[in-house]
Amino acid sequence: MAQSSSPISGVAERYAGSLFELALQANSVAKVEADLNSFEAMLAGSADLTRLINSPVFSSEDQAKAIAAIADKAGITGLTGNFLRVVAQNRRLFAIPGMIRAFRQIAAEHRGETAAEVTSAHELTAAQQTELKAALKSVAGKDVAVSVTVDPSLLGGLVVKMGSRQIDTSLKTKLNSLKLALKEVG
């Protein structure tokens, strides 16, 4: 795995690596990945939860109690539930999104896949996702685990990140490029 100079990504990669090793030993990689995806969806849908994990105002005890209650309510138990509690107790909740991405990448590599993060302006249909996976598989030469997020500010198109490559076909980027070109001419 490529090393990064960002301390957050280093923390995220170490925690994700440890969680993956534990999940592999317990033969529960798929369950942990599903639980992490569930927590990520809750995080994306709740401004309060986002504030809880990012704000230094909350004590580690408050964060740990809140995360424990959220995990229990969401049915996130076992290894993933314990992992979230440990992360909260160690004041590392701010790195949870990176930990989830890193875990997903490690799990995909273990399955012989490569991971791709796709940001779309609109929700993709099942047929579009299948077509996208096939196109990415032809580029990568192996199966691709695709994680799709929606960002309406893109206006149209996709942004695909696969490994160190990024393909940006978003309308937002094209408009910004055109705007910059027009400034240079005028």
Angle at the Cα of 11 (from 76 to 52), degrees rounded to 5? 50
More confident residue, 5 or 156: 156
CA dist 183 and 11 (Å) reads: 42
Q: What is the DSSP letter of 153?
A: G
pLDDT in tens, 48-90: 999 999 988 998 899 999 999 999 999 998 999 999 999 999 9
- Tell if the pTM clears 0.75, that is, is over it: no
What residues contact 109, with CB distance under 8 A and at least 6 apart?
Answer: 115
CA dist 119 and 100 (Å) reads: 16
Greatest alpha-carbon span in the chain:
63
